[in-house]
Structure 1
Amino acid sequence: MHVAHLSLADFRSYARAEVPLDPGVTAFVGPNGQGKTNLVEAVGYLATLGSHRVASDAPLVRVGAERAVVRAQVVQGSPGLPGAIPADAERRRLLELEINPGRANRARINRSSQVRPRDLLGIVRSVLFAPEDLALVKGDPGERRRFLDELITARAPRLAGVRSDFERVLKQRNTLLKTAALARRHGGKGADLSTLDVWDQHLATVGAELLAHRLDLVAALQPLADKAYEQVAPGGGPVGLDYRSSIGDEAMAGATGREELFQRLLEALTAARRQEIERGVTLVGPHRDDLVLRLGPMPAKGYASHGESWSYALALRLASYELLCADGEEPVLVLDDVFAELDARRRERLAELVAPGEQVLVTAAVDDDVPGVLRGARFAVENGTVVRQ
Structure 2
Amino acid sequence: MTTVSLCMIVKNEEKNIEHCLASARPFVDEMIVVDTGSTDQTIQLCQSAGAQVYSFEWNNHFAEARNYSLEQATSDWILWMDADEVLDVSAAGNWKERLTAGNEPLFNVRLVNYIGETPDPNETFHIAHTRLFRNGIGLRFLYPIHETLNVEEILIDEKALRSIEQIEGLIIYHYGYLQSYVTAKQKNERNLKLLLQEFNAENSNPWTEYHLASEYYRTGQYEQAYDFVNLSIARFLENGKLPPSLLYNLKYSCLIAVDSLENIPTGIDKVIQLYPDYINLYFYKGIALFQSNEYSSALELFEHCIFIGEGNIAHLTLKGSGSFHAWYYKGRCLEQLAKPKLAAEAFEEALKLYPNYASAQEALTRLIL
**TM-score interval w.r.t. the shorter chain?**
under 0.3
RCO comparison, higher one (Cα < 8 Å, 6+): 1
Report the TM-score when normalising by structure 1: 0.25
Structure whose residues are more often strand by fraction: 1
Report the TM-score when normalising by structure 2: 0.26
